[in-house]
């Protein structure tokens, strides 16, 4: 079983005619992702990838014609806000934004708008979603994971890949992997994703990959203590980060003593989360 996306998900690609959009559309198709449409304003009526994918001028038209129920965004950063608003207005249930460098003010407006809508947003600046053996939405390599019963949620793209491959090498499979991204203002966070994994009957354990900055991990710890019944294993990047120096993602900003790796680890350990000191330790901590 999976959360958010599976083999029946009908995906459209916003920005499909750009270099990034076209390249990753081809990779997703190779993984058998069910891509039904692309959207690039002004290029409606075109077809890409040797006539495999029709291109439409708007998300609304693409949805009406193809029945798409998810979107992945590869547009330039300056257009991310408009692209998300267009998808939300069309009432797409799931939007995954891969683009890096989205303006924070644009995302603040998006975040506020989403409160009154049903659309779930993943990203921006994220690797997307992988449901092994069924579908991939975004840029997570499809060959580094196998189907299974472990849910993975992560703020870091590179660490996501490392953990997925470590699990595979140990014969452990994944129900769904969700890369939520590391920006300070984004769509779904740890809490919302953990809640979906808790409700998924085929997910038996959860791996949460965090990093310095922000308070997502502390919020997750509070949720785990109150509502989660499944075991959680976590790795927090940034233990050796020099004090006062910004590291990694835009969201990896430490203010005073808030947001440090040590603080996050202590909080998670206090609610029973097993902590891996290195990513390769994670498979050994999964006890199913």
Residues annotated as part of the active site:
249
Distance separating alpha carbons of residues 279 and 236, to the nearest angstrom: 9
Phi and psi for 215 in degrees, rounded to 5?
-130, 20
**What is the distance between the alpha carbons of residues 216 and 80, in angstroms, rounded to a whole number?**
23
Residue with tokens 């003010």: 105
Q: Which residues contact 195 (CB under 8 A, 6 or more apart)?
A: 223, 227
Nearest Cα to Cα of residue 64 among 83, 39, 32: 39
Contact 204, 150 (CB under 8 A): yes
259's CB contacts (< 8 A; 6+ apart) are 212, 213, 214, 215, 253
Residues 229, 5: Cα–Cα separation, whole Å? 23
CA–CA separation, 138 and 191 (whole Å): 21
| Measured CA angle at 139 (ends 134, 143), to 5 deg | 55
CA angle 184, 190, 195 (to 5 degrees): 145
Paired tokens of 86: 């267009």
How far is the C-alpha of 110 from the C-alpha of 185, rounded, in Å? 9
């Amino acid at each position: 079983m999976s959360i958010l996306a599976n083999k029946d998900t009908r995906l459209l690609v916003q920005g499909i005619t750009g270099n990034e959009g076209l390249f990753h559309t081809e990779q997703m198709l190779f993984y058998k992702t069910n891509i039904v449409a692309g959207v690039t304003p002004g290029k409606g009526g075109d077809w890409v990838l040797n006539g495999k994918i029709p291109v439409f001028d708007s998300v609304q038209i693409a949805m009406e014609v193809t029945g798409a129920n998810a979107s992945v965004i590869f547009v330039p950063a300056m257009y991310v806000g408009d692209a998300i608003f267009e998808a939300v207005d069309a009432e797409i249930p799931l939007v995954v934004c891969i683009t890096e460098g989205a303006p924070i003010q644009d995302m603040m407006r998006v975040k506020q708008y989403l409160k009154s809508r049903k659309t779930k947003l993943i990203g921006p600046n994220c690797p997307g979603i992988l449901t092994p053996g069924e579908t991939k939405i975004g840029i997570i390599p499809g060959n580094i994971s196998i189907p299974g019963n472990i849910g993975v949620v992560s703020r870091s793209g590179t660490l996501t890949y490392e953990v997925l491959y470590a699990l595979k090498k140990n014969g452990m499979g994944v129900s769904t992997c969700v890369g939520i991204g590391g920006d300070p203002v984004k769509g779904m966070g740890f809490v919302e994703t953990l809640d979906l994994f808790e409700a998924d009957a085929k997910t038996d354990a959860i791996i949460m990959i965090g990093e310095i900055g922000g308070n997502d991990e502390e919020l997750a710890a509070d949720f785990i203590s109150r509502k989660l019944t499944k075991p959680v294993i976590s790795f927090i990047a940034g233990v050796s980060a020099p004090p006062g120096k910004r590291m990694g993602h835009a969201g990896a900003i430490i203010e005073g003593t808030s947001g440090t790796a040590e603080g996050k680890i202590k909080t998670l350990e206090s609610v029973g989360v097993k902590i891996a000191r290195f990513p390769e330790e994670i498979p050994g901590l999964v006890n199913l």
